[in-house]
A and B are shown apart, each in its own frame.
Chain A
Amino acid sequence: MRIVAGAALVLLLITVPPVLGEFQVFLLTQSLIWGIFALSMGLLLGYLGQINLGQAAFVAMAAYISTVLRIQGGLSFWLAAPITLLATVFIAMTVGLVTLRLRGPYFVLVMLGFGEVVRLVIANWQDVTGGMVGLRGIAAPEPLLFLHFDTRLSFYYLVLATTVAATLGLLGLIRSRSGRVLVAIREDEVLAEFTGAPIMRSKVTALAISAFIAGLGGLLIGPFLSVLSPNQFSVFASVDMIVMVVVGGAGTLIGPLLGAVFLTYVPEAFGFLRDIRPILMGGLLIAVTLFLPGGLLGIFALFGGKPRRPLEAVPEHAR
């Protein structure tokens, strides 16, 4: 049933865009890229039970490393991508080995600091990153075999393929042995450790996978916007991801994707409110937390949907 619904949704996302206008394809692409970011946050928030205010730094690193490798190193997108992902995952593991030992608010604070450090390094490393002005004129990914990505529509398909792959990959992780152990650690870390779970290894692995997913989105954001600047990756970007996860429904995979779509289209419809976007995001987060702890997915459950399985239940502290 779920497989059929998922396949139908993907089929819709493949067949409908060609008849949509250029701008609609742009919005759809934007939703999906943010959906990838939200998925990466969803893994931490929903399955590790940890908020990460430095998540945007992983996106920023992937975006900048790949773009610099292309512009200054002359590498193709497809060669830069694996190098970039490897570097992002390595940095995430190194950071995680230190920060994941910290509990509760201390992890959040140190990761917030990490995010700001990365942003400031990017803003001040003029020769490489272009400083506050940023990098401009980022080209679409080079053709791969017979596939071209230089139109809005073809690039959209690349993003869609990445989103589907990321979702399926995370689904596999969550259903695997490691995913179940993560849920156990989220539910009760001490008990999980005494039943034999290697806590640090599991957490560092989860952060590395989360950074990998964030990096996938980071690879795409440069060619998508054609410009990169450090202000795109402030703490507000991480907060946006958190809001997407919570609004969509934490502890699921479809929730973050749904939240990303919602938070791309709704502000677009109320374009005149753009100046107060951070306030709206904060207000939305409070409202959803108070009145709709299951997120948008919780609404479906209210209307007679099948009750959510305990493994997908929202962790106490993510409510």
Chain B
Amino acid sequence: MRADAPLLTVSGLSKRFNGVHAVSEVSFTVASGEILGLIGPNGAGKTTTFNLISGLFPPTAGSVALAGQILTGLRPDQVAAAGLSRTFQGTRTFPKLTVAENLRIPFLARSRVGVWASWSGRGAGRALNASVARGVAEILDFTGLTLHADVPAESMPYARQSLLGIGLALAGLPQLLLLDEPFAGMNPGETMEAARMVRRIRDRGTTVLLVEHDMHAVMSICDRIVVLDGGRKLIEGTPDIVRRDPKVIEAYLGTDADA
């Protein structure tokens, strides 16, 4: 594979729900190391596109490939194992488990160590326990949740829960992270904090694709933006190009474009 080959290739992606075209012929690529924003007015097909890429349901036509590997048709756990992980709108964690127990799950879920080894803590089980402990500590540190490691997820404030949600998706250093409205429900201060986190995720070695409503945040942190409208791709380009494009202004941004 050439060095400049795209990390994610979405080609001709279409989804019909009972005859309604939610997404039609959407194609774009994400380069390794970039932060790409997926935006559009309500009903533009952003969330559907997002769910198709992450494997929540299969497309009617088209395909998704990560670093040359076709992901279309794989189960969500196989997509995760291939190096593509995602977060969910709002906060989605294992509510009754503590933060540290939450973060153990993705490591344990992906391991193939057998019951016996894991139980006895010998051999592969011992190695697993050690590597899980290392991985959890690293993500606790990265998300700044170390002090809250033993707190049940459900008893933390919203912003911290959404940090944990991101932490769950970061286990095992995914190649690509899909963030579903990471700034929803946050005040400006929390949004800035979260935006900094997104950049740090990229700097840590994970490419980021995000769906977001908050124009300000999208324009400021994304390297490139793909605009959807009516289930089709309207345009793609750098924030400057997108911000000035008359079609985009007409379809969606309106006066917010200058904001």
* Chain A interface (Cβ < 8 Å from any Cβ of B): 172-173, 175-178, 180-181, 183-184, 187-188, 190-199, 310-311, 313
A172 lies within 8 A of B152 (CB)? no
User: Shortest distance in angstroms between B31's beta carbon and chain A's nearest beta carbon?
Assistant: 24
A282 to chain B, nearest CB (A): 28
Q: How far is the CA of A17 from the CA of B244 in the complex (A)?
A: 87
B169 in complex: contacting residue of A173, A178, A193, A195, CB < 8 Å: A195
Contact B101 A177 (CB under 8 A): no
The residues of A that contact B92 with a CB separation of less than 8 Å are 188, 191
Tally B residues with Cβ within 8 Å of A: 36
Chain B contact surface mostly: helix
Given A311-B101, A313-B96, is A196 in contact with B119 using a C-beta cutoff of 8 Å?
Answer: no
What are 20 residue pairs bridging A and B, where the CB atoms are less than 8 Å apart in the complex? A173-B115, A173-B119, A176-B118, A178-B115, A184-B105, A184-B109, A187-B94, A187-B97, A188-B92, A191-B92, A191-B93, A191-B94, A192-B109, A194-B79, A194-B86, A195-B85, A195-B171, A196-B106, A310-B97, A311-B96
Report B49-103 residues with CB < 8 Å from chain A CB: 54, 75-77, 79-81, 85-86, 88, 92-98, 101
- Neighbouring B residues of A176 by C-beta, 8 Å: 115, 118-119
B111 interface residue (CB < 8 Å to A): yes
Query: Across the A-B interface, how many residue pairs have beta carbons closer than 8 Å?
Result: 92
Give the residue name and chain of the A residue nearest to B98 (CB): A310
The residues of B that contact A183 with a CB separation of less than 8 Å are 94, 97
B148 interface hit (Cβ, 8 Å) = no
What are the 7 closest A-B residue pairs judged by CB atoms, nearest first? Answer: A197-B109, A177-B118, A195-B106, A176-B118, A196-B110, A172-B119, A196-B80
**With A177-B108, A193-B76, A195-B168: A311-B97 Cβ-Cβ less than 8 Å:** yes
B-to-A contact residues, CB < 8 Å: 54, 75-77, 79-81, 85-86, 88, 92-98, 101, 104-106, 108-111, 113, 115, 118-119, 125, 128, 152, 168-169, 171-172
CA distance A172 to B119 in the complex (A): 6
Are the CB atoms of B101 and A195 closer together than 8 Å?
no
Q: Which residue of B is nearest A314, CB measured?
A: B96
Q: How far is the CA of A184 from the CA of B111 in the complex (A)?
A: 14
- B108 adjacent to A188 (CB under 8 Å): no
Residue of A nearest to B120 (CB): A172
CA distance A233 to B254 in the complex (A): 69
Known: A310-B96, A310-B152. A195 touches B105 (CB 8 A): yes
Contact present for B96 and A194 (CB under 8 Å): no
Q: In the complex, A196→B75 CA distance in Å?
A: 9
Min Cβ gap B62→A in Å is 21
Choose one: A175, A194, A198; the contact of B54 (CB below 8 Å): A194
Report how far A183 CA is from B88 CA in the complex, Å: 20
Residues of B within 8 A of A177 (CB): 108, 111, 113, 115, 118, 125, 128
Report Cα–Cα, A188/B105, bound state, in Å: 12
- Please determine whether A194 and B128 come into contact, CB atoms closer than 8 angstroms: no
Q: Which residues does chain B contribute within 8 Å of A311, judged by CB atoms?
A: 96-97, 101
Q: How far is the CB of A166 from chain B (nearest CB, A)?
A: 15
Q: How far is the CA of A207 from the CA of B104 in the complex (A)?
A: 24
Q: How far is the CB of B23 from chain A (nearest CB, A)?
A: 20
Q: Chain B's nearest CB lies how many Å from the CB of A113?
A: 28
With A172-B115, A172-B119, A180-B104 known as contacts, the answer to whether A195 contacts B96 (CB < 8 A) is no
Q: Which A-chain residue is minimally distant from B92 (CB atoms)?
A: A191
Nearest B-chain residue to A178, judged by Cβ: B115
Closest-CB distance, A70 to chain B (whole angstroms): 31
CB distance from B181 to the nearest CB of A (A): 16
- Give the complex CA separation of A197 and B93 in angstroms: 14
Quick one: which of A175, A180, A184, A193 contacts B75, CB cutoff 8 A?
A193
Query: Distance (Å) between the CB of B253 and the closest chain A CB?
Result: 31
Give A194 to B174 CA distance when docked, in angstroms.
12
State the Cβ distance, B174 to closest chain A Cβ, in Å: 10
**How far apart are A205's CB and chain B's nearest CB, in angstroms?**
9
Q: What is the distance, in angstroms, from A61's C-beta to the closest C-beta of chain B?
A: 24
A191, B77: Cβ atoms closer than 8 Å: no
**What is the chain B residue whose CB lies nearest that of A312?**
B96
Q: Is the CB of A195 within 8 A of B119?
A: no
User: Which residues does chain A contribute within 8 Å of B171, judged by CB atoms?
Assistant: 195-196
Q: Which residues of B contact A194 (CB under 8 A)?
A: 54, 76-77, 79-80, 85-86, 88, 169
Chain B nearest Cβ from A237, distance in angstroms:
28
Do the beta carbons of B77 and A199 come within 8 Å of each other? yes
Which chain A positions have C-beta within 8 A of B169?
A: 194-195
Q: For residue B219, give the distance in angstroms from its CB to the closest CB of chain A.
A: 28
Cross-chain contact A175 with B119 (CB below 8 angstroms): yes
In the complex, what's the smallest C-beta–C-beta distance from B183 to chain A, in angstroms? 20
Chain B residues contacting A313 (CB-CB under 8 Å) are: 96
